């Protein structure tokens, strides 16, 4: 996230586990990571509520064990999800704080604050952390935020790439293919970029909003809970305080295992006066998490195949995110890239805020700015298209297309003398338009009378700021209408976009069936149209006329049936076959 301050450009990385803030130093022409009030360069994304006050950051995390049910963390994982989502249910099981279903099935975090029960959305808690990060920046800069704050959200791997580009920019005359591997506390993102001179192009992105350090911690927690149960015959899985203490100890042990081969856990009077003294080897930690580590590599592979790039063509592999320090993760990644050295020069916890500060300096604009002159080219994270007849999603701009761009597509009217068309603009990967996210709609009316199939030229124009302008034009008359949509504003969050992509994968078979059926219905519809045209426009003998009429009636009855969506594809295919048996010989006769 890039924020413009009076004379200063500030970048904030609002992370799932830790957040970081950086400032572009105009006079020194470099980025500075800002320390918080505890002297730390990263701040835990934690908010705690007590009888008297609210704590954010280190202060919240430090009192977590004593106040587990009112200390909120990991909340970024809830953004854009429903309470009934199985992933959310699973997360809730691991958390000591309470989450309930609010209006529209939205997950709401429940805490006791100043002796009153309070319900907060994940977005509200996020804004508390964001405020804290702003205060850290203000304390350092000794200047308040101007009222006319300009805020942009940039995707994390892109921010990291900017940081990387700054380090290596000099002498970068040829195009470089850079792979950003960002494994953080709660999320995993990979991006393939090309960097040439000052231009950064995002070729493809992939990831998982529910994979990261917290999951590795959870596997350790489960391991020690089972071990404790085996040794002491007590199950502590319902005890929030014990779980909280164990989780903190596991996270510490995990970090230790990144440089040592064993780590110990020592928790005095862990449960009912029983201590938990144990240890774990790096090999055991790797075994517990191997499945997740492999998933990371599979995502890397998917991103490269999306970009149609061979792994041998990747020049640099950049590590971002605290969890990318895990030796096994690095080993698997290096193995995948056939032994290539991984770039670790950027501090993985700070790269995103660093890049965001540079981006903020760029946005600060003005001729005075000495910020490096970079040009960013992002990609569309979701396909953009139009909902056409029978609710079919017709893609105009496929996902992962570089922006800015302009793309046209000609659509046709669906019936004779159609005087208007409704343009519904969607984003998403599902075959059925209404399963995607509706961005906006408009109507092009006053279309001149014409047979079905009259061309309507549609143009999608997407600029670098995510502003989409869709125009529909009747070519013959120049009659047109348009809509402008700001894709970043009030639209889908990163998590929601990810969900749409994942859902599209999950429903692939269902979507294929939907498309097949839509095609079968359309083929029959078009055939009926041709039959009608012949019936009305040709000299036919009375017998042929009668036969054709009854074939049209039969097909029309099916096509007009309100329940036709429930019918099997074969019904439409068979109807078309029957109609062809009647109409083809008639067509042959009239030539």
Catalytic annotation, residues? 13, 76, 156, 182
- Contact between 165 and ligand AMP by CB under 6 A: the answer reads no
Using the contact rule CB under 6 A, the part of the chain among 16-24, 144-152, 286-294, 539-547 near ligand AMP is 16-24
* Residue 558 neighbours by CB distance under 10 Å: 17
Query: Would you state the structure tokens that stand for residue 182, as one six-digit string?
Result: 């960002």
- Select from 265, 285, 286 the least CA-distant residue to 277: 265
Rule CB under 6 A: choose which of 44, 184, 387, 466 binds ligand AMP: 184
Query: Which of 350/544 has CB closer to ligand AMP?
Result: 350
Asked if 213 is part of the footprint of ligand AMP (rule: CB under 6 A), the reply reads: yes
Stretch near ligand AMP under the rule CB under 6 A, chosen from 211-219, 424-432, 461-469, 474-482:
211-219
Query: Within 293-322, which residues bind ligand AMP (CB under 6 A)?
Result: 321-322
Q: Is 330 in the site for ligand AMP (CB under 6 A)?
A: no
Examine residue 251 and tell whether it contacts ligand AMP (CB under 6 A): yes
Q: Which is nearer to ligand AMP, 254 or 424 (CB)?
A: 254
CB 160 within 8 A of CB 180: yes
Nearer to ligand AMP, 68 or 322 (CB): 322
349 versus 498: smaller Cβ distance to ligand AMP: 349
Minimum distance between the CB of residue 96 and ligand AMP, rounded to whole angstroms? 17
Would you list the DSSP string of 539-568?
---HHHHHHHHHHHHHHHHHHH-TTGGGS-
258-277 footprint of ligand AMP as x/- string (CB under 6 A): x-------------------
- Binding ligand AMP (rule: CB under 6 A), the pick from 254, 359, 424, 432 is 254
Q: With respect to ligand AMP, which residue has the nearer C-beta, 237 or 258?
A: 258
Per-residue binder mask for ligand AMP (CB under 6 A), 461-500, x = binder? ----------------------------------------
Q: Are strands 375-377 and 199-208 parallel, antiparallel or unpaired?
A: parallel
Q: Are 42 and 20 in contact (CB under 8 A)?
A: yes
Residue pair 254/213 in contact by the 8 Å Cβ criterion = yes
Neighbours of 96 (CB within 10 A): 20
Tokens of 446: 């006053």
Which has the closest alpha carbon to 382: 497, 484, 282?
497
Of 258 and 394, the one with the shorter C-beta distance to ligand AMP is: 258
* Smallest distance from ligand AMP to CB 251, Å: 5
Smallest separation, CB 505 to ligand AMP (Å): 25
Smallest separation (angstroms) from ligand AMP to the CB of 8: 23
User: 214 vs 525, which CB is nearer to ligand AMP?
Assistant: 214
> At 274, phi and psi to the nearest 5?
-85, 135
Candidate segments 53-61, 119-127, 249-257, 388-396, binder of ligand AMP by CB under 6 A: 249-257
Q: Which is nearer to ligand AMP, 349 or 511 (CB)?
A: 349
The length of the chain is 591
Inter-helix orientation angle 282-306/327-336, to 10°: 40
Q: Strand 199-208 relative to strand 188-196: parallel, antiparallel, unpaired?
A: antiparallel
Minimum distance from residue 43 beta carbon to ligand AMP (Å):
10
Give, as one character, the DSSP assignment of residue 490. S
Residue 136 CB, shortest distance to ligand AMP, in Å, is: 15
Among positive and negative, which fits the CA dihedral 91, 93, 99, 103?
positive
Instruction: For the CB of residue 68, give the shortest distance to ligand AMP in the complex, in Å.
Output: 18
A 10 A CB-CB count for 61 gives: 21
- Shortest CA distance to 340 belongs to which of 558, 178, 451, 217? 178
Nearest of 354, 361, 317 to residue 336 by alpha carbon:
317
Q: Which of 219, 255, 315, 545 binds ligand AMP (CB under 6 A)?
A: 255
Of 80 and 321, CB closest to ligand AMP = 321
Retrieve residue 132's tokens.
């804290």
Closest separation in Å from C-beta 98 to ligand AMP? 23
What is d(CA 15, CA 42) in angstroms, rounded to the nearest whole number? 10
| Total residues in contact with ligand AMP, by rule CB under 6 A | 19
Smallest gap from Cβ 326 to ligand AMP, in A, equals 5
Report CA-CA distances (Å) from 92 to 107, 185, 221.
Answer: 10, 16, 15
User: 177 pairs with which residues across the strands?
Assistant: 194
Q: Is 61 in the site for ligand AMP (CB under 6 A)?
A: no
By the rule CB under 6 A, 349 interacts with ligand AMP: yes
Binding mask of the shown chain, residues 17 to 56, with x at each position contacting ligand AMP by CB under 6 A: xx--------------------------------------
Concatenate the DSSP letters of all residues of 395-438 into one string: EEE-TT-BSSEEEEEEEE-SSTT--EEEEEEEESS-SBGGGSEE
SS3 312: helix
Cis before residue 404, ω within 30 degrees of 0? yes
Distance from CA of residue 23 to its chain's centroid?
27
CB of 337 to ligand AMP, least distance (A): 20
Could you say whether residue 157 binds ligand AMP (CB under 6 A)?
no
Tokens of 424: 């519904």
Residue 16 CB, shortest distance to ligand AMP, in Å, is 6
d(CA 545, CA 379): 55
Q: Are 53 and 28 in contact (CB under 8 A)?
A: no
DSSP 342: P
Comparing CB distances to ligand AMP, the nearer of 79 and 579 is: 79
Query: Pick from 323, 383, 400, 436: which binds ligand AMP (CB under 6 A)?
Result: 323
15 binds ligand AMP (CB under 6 A): yes
Which is closer to ligand AMP, CB of 18 or CB of 24?
18
CB-nearest residue to ligand AMP: 213
Kindly list the residues in this chain that would bind ligand AMP in the complex (CB under 6 A).
15-18, 184-185, 212-214, 251, 254-255, 258, 321-323, 325-326, 349
């Amino acid at each position: 996230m890039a924020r413009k301050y009076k004379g200063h450009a500030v970048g904030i990385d609002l992370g799932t586990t830790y957040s970081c803030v950086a400032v572009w130093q105009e006079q020194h022409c470099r980025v500075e990571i800002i320390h918080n009030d505890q002297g730390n360069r990263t701040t835990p994304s934690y908010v705690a509520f007590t009888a008297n006050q609210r704590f954010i950051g280190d202060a919240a995390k430090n009192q977590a064990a004593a106040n587990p049910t009112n200390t909120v963390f990991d909340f970024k994982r809830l953004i854009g999800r429903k309470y009934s989502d199985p992933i959310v249910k699973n997360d809730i099981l691991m958390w000591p704080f309470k989450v309930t279903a609010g209006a529209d099935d939205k997950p709401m975090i429940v805490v006791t604050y100043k002796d009153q029960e309070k319900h907060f959305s994940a977005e509200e808690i996020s804004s508390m952390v964001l405020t804290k990060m702003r205060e850290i920046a203000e304390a350092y800069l000794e200047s308040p935020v101007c009222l006319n704050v300009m805020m942009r959200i940039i995707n994390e791997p892109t921010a990291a790439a900017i940081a990387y580009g700054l380090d290596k920019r000099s002498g970068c005359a040829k195009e470089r293919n850079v792979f950003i591997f960002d494994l953080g506390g709660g999320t995993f993102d990979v991006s393939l970029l090309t960097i040439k001179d000052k231009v950064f192009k995002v070729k493809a992105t992939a990831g998982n909003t529910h994979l990261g350090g917290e999951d590795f911690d959870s596997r350790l927690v489960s391991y020690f809970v089972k071990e404790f149960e085996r040794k002491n015959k007590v199950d502590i899985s319902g005890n929030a305080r014990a779980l909280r203490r164990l989780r903190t100890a596991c996270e510490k042990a995990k970090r230790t295992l990144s440089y040592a081969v064993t780590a110990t856990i020592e928790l005095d009077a862990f449960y009912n006066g029983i201590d938990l003294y144990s240890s774990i080897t790096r090999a055991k930690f790797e075994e517990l998490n191997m499945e997740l580590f492999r998933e990371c590599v599979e995502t890397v592979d998917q991103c490269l195949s999306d970009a149609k790039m061979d792994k041998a063509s990747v020049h640099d592999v950049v590590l971002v995110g605290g969890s990318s320090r895990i030796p096994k993760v690095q080993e698997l990644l290096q193995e995948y890239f056939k032994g290539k050295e991984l770039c670790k020069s950027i501090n993985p916890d700070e790269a995103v805020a660093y890049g965001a500060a540079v981006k903020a300096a760029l946005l600060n604009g003005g001729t005075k700015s000495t910020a490096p002159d970079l040009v960013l080219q992002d990609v569309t994270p979701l396909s953009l298209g139009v909902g056409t007849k029978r609710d079919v999603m017709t893609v105009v701009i496929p996902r992962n297309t570089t922006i800015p761009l302009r793309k046209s597509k000609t659509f046709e009217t669906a019936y004779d003398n159609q005087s208007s068309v409704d343009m519904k603009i969607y984003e998403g990967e599902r075959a059925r338009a209404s399963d995607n996210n509706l961005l906006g709609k408009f109507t092009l009316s006053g279309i001149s009378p014409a047979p079905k199939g009259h061309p309507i030229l549609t143009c999608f124009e997407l600029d670098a700021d995510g502003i989409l302008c869709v125009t529909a034009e009747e070519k013959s008359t120049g009659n047109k209408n348009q809509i402008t949509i700001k894709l970043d504003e009030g639209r889908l969050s990163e998590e929601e976009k990810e969900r749409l992509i994942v859902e599209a994968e999950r429903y692939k078979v269902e979507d294929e069936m939907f498309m097949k059926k839509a095609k079968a219905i359309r083929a029959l519809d078009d055939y009926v149209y041709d039959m009608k045209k012949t019936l009305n426009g040709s000299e036919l003998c009375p017998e042929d006329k009668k036969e054709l009429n009854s074939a049209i009636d039969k097909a029309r009855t099916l096509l007009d049936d309100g329940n036709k969506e429930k019918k099997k594809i074969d019904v439409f295919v068979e109807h078309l076959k029957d109609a062809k048996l009647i109409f083809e010989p008639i067509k042959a006769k009239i030539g």
